[in-house]
Amino acid sequence: MRGKPQPVGHRPPSARAVTRWILTHPDALPEGDRIQLKVVLANCPELTALVEHVRSFACMVTELQGQRLPEWIEAARAAADLPSLSRFAQHLERDLDAVIAGLTQSWSSGVVEGHVNRIKMLKRQRFGREGSELGSVFKDHPGGRSWCCGTSS
């Protein structure tokens, strides 16, 4: 015998939604999303700490404050309860001078990188991912698809 159906509570927000809320500038968040983020953060102190680090990093990126990076890395590495953030900070240290320069200087190679990404996508489409005869010739070559132009993709 079945009992009365229990009312279903609110579904928790998806990880994707919470990520979007965290990565969106607080002033740009709609009021409903801001309230939901506050509820989520009230239930997870680790996530609250992560939000502080992410927003601090975003501020450095958008305001070109690369000189703050070493202190941010120290704070991120000290966050023992956030191992992924600590690893990210550790990776930034591998080429600290370049990262600081990227976060400090106003010029960007983003347009060039976009074109490189587009060219690689076209190359993948033409040489093998669609199953063409030419693509299979490149796949069967010992050097892989990139032997024709001397670079790896």
Threshold 0.85, pTM exceeds: no
Q: Which residues of 16-35 are buried (b: 16+ CB within 10 A; e: fewer)?
A: eebeebbeeeeeebeeebee
Which of the two residues, 131 and 73, has the higher pLDDT score? 73
Interval 111-126 mean pLDDT: 89
Q: What is the per-residue pLDDT across 128-153, written as a single tens digit (0 to 9) for each?
A: 655 445 444 445 545 444 444 444 44
Q: What is the per-residue pLDDT across 13-39, written as a single tens digit (0 to 9) for each?
A: 899 999 999 999 989 999 999 999 999
Is residue 12 over pLDDT 80? yes
